[in-house]
A and B are shown apart, each in its own frame.
Chain A
Amino acid sequence: MHFIYVIWLFIWAGIITAETHTFHFNVSYVTANPDGLLDRRMIGINNHWPNPTIRVKKNDRVEIYLTNFLENRNTSLHFHGLFQKDTNAMDGPEMVTQCPIPPGETFLYNFTVTDQVGTYWYHSHSGSQYGDGLRGVFIIEDDDYPFDFQQDSVLTVGEHYHKETPAIMKSFMSRYNPTGAEPIPQNILFNETNNVTWTLNPGETTLLRIVNVGLFVAHYIYIEDHTLTIVEIDGGYVEQVEVDSIYIAPGQRYSVLIQAKKSPQQNYRFICVLDYEMLDLIPSDLQLVSTNWVQYTNTKELPGSIGNDYKKIIESLHPAEEFNLIPLEKVPLYPEPDYTIELNFTMEVLGDGITYALFNGISYVPPKVPTLMTVLSGGEYSTVKEIYGSNTNSFVLQPNEVVEIILNNMDPGKHPFHLHGHTFQTIVKSKSGENEDEPLIYNPENATFPEYPMIRDTVQTNPNGHIVIRFKAENPGVWFFHCHVDWHLEQGLAITLIESPLITQEKQTLIDNHKNVCESAKIPVQGNAAGNFGSSKKSWLNLHGENVQFSPLPVGFTLKGYIAMALCTFVALYGVFSIYKYGMEDVNSDNIENKIEKLHKLLADCGETDESAMFNLNSNGEAVNQ
């Protein structure tokens, strides 16, 4: 009996001590100079940039009132890695779970952080907007860490562009970029700035939470003469692994323990290198290596910059392979999947001359009604995949089933894929394929899976390779699955997972604030992907008017081509004929008989009919009257 009381006490204690954190975020432009080279507008919160780190505790409630003070851009906020259990509408991606927030409007994000601890981050989910600065770290502190540390620090790494993302997008998604080459950044940011000096106390252990908040490139991170002990990836504790460096892709988080030296004799460099293989083109003046410093409190001078020999540096590093990181909890391999989704990823040029990213031939195009609202208004038809549109790559998942996604990367690039609302087991991660024409396609027959697969929410796929992930559909809602290289997301590299739509309808409703924002954005909140609805299944299946991708490039001759060819042929033939006529004129008129005939005609005209007139030939052979 006492036992039960004790449990109740703990539960109440947990609930009582759970805090509610209320934030009022006014999103607006702030002028800043992150890399020291150029003043530019960054998107800050409450007139400050870089944006604040949010620290909450397990089971806390978070309320964020986000007001958009950007003059002419919509905004949104996604909490990367948070499950949003039963609060799917707070997840953030535009046109998936919410309407874009127009300028002047306030949107409420209201959720609790249950079942999770660790390092997460928040960022805009309106196109590539977070590259302009709307990003920050979100930490859920544990009360009982499985390791010891004295300091808790945060490190964000990312790349920086001098132009604002709408301008970059325009030249990226254009028929004058026929290879679809991603935009090249101008600099690396280390905690949203550069030339950072980090002070360490000798002998202390620091928990360093590292987040890649960039749009595009992965980073190698290491500290000279220090090892990093990986303890957490994407919010999940792992068995500790000591490495010399980590490789972190956009969206991923790594928490590492750094053991400061007991009696340091010097200060050390803290280096961050861009993964140059992800860049199509490396300008000669691009600094791919960012040198920062670890300074021990006994001041000595800082070593100089390490230079820019990125290839040599990367070759010397041995970062952990994420696939081998075993979860501390030792979650066994999920059982055979109830539902398998196979995604073949290709890049193609469509009919507008622009390169798009396609899963199974479909490039994600946002629907006219946010998908979650289609679920909530769809009634009994919300389990019918087709109402979500033919271009949203939608899949309907049943409650609690084990879902397996097989992703064949038929592109020679590295891609970090991120699943909203879940973590997943990565049960297969192939090495890189040889070349574009022979990608490694997943073959289930010979596959072996690890006993305790790695678990995270953003996993890197190797060029021309494949990954296989498994997760449990225990979180009703609409969840986005997409490449976290934001340029590729803009090119359409995403699918929509509609998980347990009927349960979603039961447990979740649209709050008034969200409805008002949609109204202000002039976006309907009910209907299928085309905004159509009605009482019959037929009206829900009517997708007339939906947004679709561009039609493919015409192959070979179209009607236009045939007409052009026919016209050219006709004109050429007629031209040749005229030349022939012109040429033959010379022959005809050169003819002697012709001349005599003409002469007769002349004489007849003059009234002379004497045919016996004599003719002489002059020196040129022409007839002359004597």
Chain B
Amino acid sequence: MANVFNVQIFFIVFRESLEAIIVVSVLLAFLKQGLGGATQDPVVYKRLLRQVWVGAVLGVVVCLVIGAAFIATFYTLGNDIWSKSEDLWEGIFCIIATVLITFMGLAMLRVNKMKEKWRIKLAKALTKTPANKKDRFKIGYLAKKYAMFILPFITTLREGLEAVVFVGGVGLSSPATAFPLPVICGLIAGIAVGSILYYSGSTVSLQIFLIISTCILYLIAAGLFSRGVWGFEMHLFNNQTGGDAAEGASGPGTYDIAKSVWHVNCCNPEIDNGWDVFNALLGWQNSATYGSVISYNIYWLFIIVTILLMLYEEKHGHLPFLKGVTLRSLNPMYHIKGKKKNELTAEEKEALFEKVKAARIGDDSAEDGTHEAENSSLVHEDVIELDKLDKKQAL
């Protein structure tokens, strides 16, 4: 079954397409709220609407093409180099996949946060004024006119390429036939969920759905991590025995007895039908080692601890015992890119969104847009902090 449907690929495509849909939905929401004077002029609205859709779809299509080309060339050229150290490569790919899935998984549970992040990003992109007045006339002019095309195009293209890289990393241990089906299913699922999100806002039932899919995703990730470690141990054993001990067999002598925690002669995910699904979803091995069992438990402990930290941070604004430190700030890139000073307070965000509304997009009189934005920001000076949770949530 794993020969036609690679579960990890499905989830990665699902998540990436979900994010792409969110981008599109945010842009559409901006339009609805009067971005670029869209509410004033139905013709402009329609034009901008079309731009958004064309940009998004085109980005996805280009990604699919690039992705297919990449996978195809890889499979026709390079597949044999893996076979000598098959288990080693499989182990490496599994670990890569686990890392990728771990990071992207939990974000799916904060879909609102995702939405918020994109709102700010896109708003900034739309209201950025080129410093040099001269540039306004050249690229800036074109950029402003077709901003609603370029933005979704570039965003979906970038997200999609990210997906291609992730899928490549995760799926290269599978045969080429395992690619098309999960990619298509992932796209459909992502689009479906995203549409629901757009039309109905965040609801409890949608959240439950996201929770279930994240749980499955992490079960898969834990299984992958365990399988990666198992693959390394298998590779080591193969080197020591000078061959591929477990090739096509499950009996005595196909595993290292000193490292075995359990071994059954049936139910081998590599050769028995159906058990490969069990392996893909839960990391089942018919011949478990200390490494594979312990790594499975360590992974889950890691997730549990991370979740507890994140919950704590959301309640109290910082990590336990470390005032002023958030999970985000533990990322070294955070400090390098100077993201701290880019965090906006709620007031700044409001101002930004008003600017967006007033910005003339696709309009020839783009220069005036900045003035009006500045004026309208004066209106909302006094804002009560609803609660600390809200502020941090927006970050």
Binding site for B on A (CB under 8 A): 175-180, 348-349, 351-353, 355, 553-558, 560-561, 564-565, 567-568, 571-572, 574-576, 578-587, 589-590, 595, 598-599, 602, 618-620, 622-625
Residues of B within 8 A of A352 (CB): 257
Q: Which residue of A is nearest B354, CB measured?
A: A619
B297 touching A583, Cβ below 8 Å:
no
Q: Could you show 9 A-B contacts with beta carbons less than 8 Å apart?
A: A176-B241, A553-B252, A556-B264, A557-B262, A560-B262, A561-B262, A582-B109, A583-B207, A602-B387
B300 touching A571, Cβ below 8 Å:
yes
Residues of B within 8 A of A578 (CB): 303-304, 307-308
B112 close to A (CB within 8 Å): yes
Asked, given contacts A178-B245, A561-B262, A581-B307, whether A586 binds B386 with beta carbons under 8 Å apart, the answer is no
Shortest Cβ distance from residue A242 to the other chain B in the assembled complex, whole angstroms: 45
Shortest Cβ distance from residue A103 to the other chain B in the assembled complex, whole angstroms: 33
Residues of A within 8 A of B307 (CB): 578-579, 581-582
B253 close to A (CB within 8 Å): yes
Which single member of A561, A579, A590, A595 contacts B218 (CB below 8 Å)? A579
Which single member of B110, B111, B262 contacts A565 (CB below 8 Å)? B262
B308 touching A572, Cβ below 8 Å:
no
B296 close to A (CB within 8 Å): yes
Residues of A within 8 A of B202 (CB): 586-587, 590
B3 close to A (CB within 8 Å): no
Which single member of B245, B262, B304 contacts A558 (CB below 8 Å)? B262
**C-beta contact mask, B182-214 vs A, less than 8 Å → 1, else 0?**
000000000000000000001010011011001
B254 touching A178, Cβ below 8 Å:
yes
Shortest Cβ distance from residue B391 to the other chain A in the assembled complex, whole angstroms: 11
A579 touching B211, Cβ below 8 Å:
yes
B387 touching A175, Cβ below 8 Å:
no
Residues of A within 8 A of B241 (CB): 176-178
Shortest Cβ distance from residue B115 to the other chain A in the assembled complex, whole angstroms: 10
**C-beta contact mask, B384-395 vs A, less than 8 Å → 1, else 0?**
101101100100
Task: Classify chain B: how many residues form its interface, as a range.
Answer: 35 or more
B261 touching A561, Cβ below 8 Å:
yes
Residues of B within 8 A of A571 (CB): 296-297, 300-301, 304
B211 touching A348, Cβ below 8 Å:
no
A576 touching B384, Cβ below 8 Å:
no
B162 close to A (CB within 8 Å): no
Residues of B within 8 A of A574 (CB): 300, 304
Residues of A within 8 A of B219 (CB): 572, 576
Residues of A within 8 A of B214 (CB): 579, 583
Inter-chain CA distance A578–B106, complex, in Å, is 11
Residues of A within 8 A of B390 (CB): 595, 622
Inter-chain CA distance A355–B384, complex, in Å, is 78
Residues of B within 8 A of A580 (CB): 211, 215
Residues of A within 8 A of B297 (CB): 567-568, 571
Which B227-241 residues have a C-beta within 8 angstroms of A? 237, 240-241
Asked, given contacts A352-B257, A568-B293, A574-B300, whether A585 binds B314 with beta carbons under 8 Å apart, the answer is yes
Shortest Cβ distance from residue A446 to the other chain B in the assembled complex, whole angstroms: 34
Inter-chain CA distance A348–B242, complex, in Å, is 20
B109 touching A589, Cβ below 8 Å:
no
Shortest Cβ distance from residue A583 to the other chain B in the assembled complex, whole angstroms: 4
A583 touching B300, Cβ below 8 Å:
no
Residues of B within 8 A of A595 (CB): 386-387, 390
Asked, given contacts A581-B311, A583-B210, whether A623 binds B218 with beta carbons under 8 Å apart, the answer is no
B207 touching A555, Cβ below 8 Å:
no
Residues of A within 8 A of B387 (CB): 595, 598-599, 602
Which single member of A175, A179, A564 contacts B262 (CB below 8 Å)? A564
Residues of A within 8 A of B237 (CB): 176
Asked, given contacts A553-B252, A584-B211, whether A564 binds B261 with beta carbons under 8 Å apart, the answer is yes
A587 touching B311, Cβ below 8 Å:
no
Shortest Cβ distance from residue B237 to the other chain A in the assembled complex, whole angstroms: 8
B329 close to A (CB within 8 Å): no
Asked, given contacts A568-B293, A584-B207, whether A625 binds B384 with beta carbons under 8 Å apart, the answer is yes
B345 close to A (CB within 8 Å): no
Residues of A within 8 A of B296 (CB): 568, 571-572
Q: Which residue of A is nearest B33, CB measured?
A: A619
Residues of A within 8 A of B65 (CB): none
B58 close to A (CB within 8 Å): no
A579 touching B215, Cβ below 8 Å:
yes
Which single member of B112, B218, B288 contacts A576 (CB below 8 Å)? B218
Inter-chain CA distance A561–B350, complex, in Å, is 58
Residues of A within 8 A of B215 (CB): 576, 579-580
A575 touching B262, Cβ below 8 Å:
no
Shortest Cβ distance from residue A358 to the other chain B in the assembled complex, whole angstroms: 13
B314 touching A353, Cβ below 8 Å:
no
Which single member of A353, A560, A572, A618 contacts B261 (CB below 8 Å)? A560
Shortest Cβ distance from residue B136 to the other chain A in the assembled complex, whole angstroms: 28
A572 touching B257, Cβ below 8 Å:
no
Which B83-139 residues have a C-beta within 8 angstroms of A? 106, 109-113
Scoring A571, A575, A589 by chain B CB atoms within 10 A of each residue's CB, the highest score goes to: A575
B112 touching A590, Cβ below 8 Å:
yes
B383 close to A (CB within 8 Å): yes
**C-beta contact mask, B356-395 vs A, less than 8 Å → 1, else 0?**
0000000000000000000000001011101101100100
Asked, given contacts A572-B222, A575-B218, A587-B204, whether A582 binds B257 with beta carbons under 8 Å apart, the answer is no
Residues of B within 8 A of A355 (CB): 253
Q: Which residue of B is nearest A179, CB measured?
A: B253
A585 touching B258, Cβ below 8 Å:
no
Inter-chain CA distance A349–B256, complex, in Å, is 12
Residues of A within 8 A of B145 (CB): none
B264 touching A353, Cβ below 8 Å:
no
Asked, given contacts A578-B307, A584-B211, whether A175 binds B386 with beta carbons under 8 Å apart, the answer is no
Task: Using A565-B262, A625-B383 as known contacts, list a sample of 17 further A-B pairs with CB atoms less than 8 Å apart, ordered by residue number in A.
Answer: A176-B241, A349-B252, A557-B264, A568-B293, A571-B300, A574-B300, A579-B303, A583-B208, A586-B111, A586-B113, A586-B207, A590-B202, A595-B387, A598-B387, A602-B387, A618-B383, A624-B383
Q: Which residue of A is nearest B109, CB measured?
A: A583
Inter-chain CA distance A180–B252, complex, in Å, is 11
Inter-chain CA distance A575–B225, complex, in Å, is 15
Inter-chain CA distance A572–B389, complex, in Å, is 29
Residues of A within 8 A of B208 (CB): 583
Inter-chain CA distance A568–B215, complex, in Å, is 15
